[in-house]
Structure 1
């Protein structure tokens, strides 16, 4: 799943560590999300989106997610 996390983080001049602390995860989790090696839980996706004042859909691209 593609995300805009890195783009948003850089726009806000945040380090991975600063964003991680703000949403309650490790820097490694932010790195993994940015490299698309990890998919955020719904709760984490909500925290990240809320932190940037956006909806989840504005941060995470669900176009490649398979439908039922």
Structure 2
């Protein structure tokens, strides 16, 4: 099972930030932050960069892409 995973909840905890505070700073609703944290919604690239900027970390430290594992035969 692949997809984009994130560390937003962990980063918010490190910065003592609520979901609402993050939402206000990046210009989305709290519900959107919840959906992103639960990997139910992938943010736009602009919002992803805003999140990384808020936490002062590279984008790759917030979001990681995990491709679906493939069963390659005959390798």
> Following the alignment from structure 2 to structure 1, what is the Cα–Cα distance between the partners of residues 11 and 33?
12
Unaligned ranges ≥5, structure 1: none
- In structure 2, the partner of 1:34 is 37
Q: Distance in 2 between matches of 1:27 and 1:64?
A: 28
Q: TM-score, normalised by structure 2?
A: 0.82
Higher helix residue share: 1
Q: In structure 1, what is the Cα distance between the partners aligned to 2:9 and 2:67?
A: 19
2:16 equivalent in structure 1? 13
RMSD: 1.1
Runs of 4+ in 1 over 6 A off after TM superposition: none
1 or 2, which has the higher strand percentage? 2
| Structure 2 residue ranges without an equivalent (≥5) | 69-75
Q: Which residue of 1 aligns with 2:53?
A: 50
State the TM-score, normalizing by the size of structure 1. Answer: 0.90
Rg comparison, structure with higher value: 2
In 2: Cα distance, 1:28 partner to 1:64 partner: 26
Structure number with higher relative contact order (C-alpha < 8 Å, ≥ 6 residues apart): 2
Aligned residues: 65
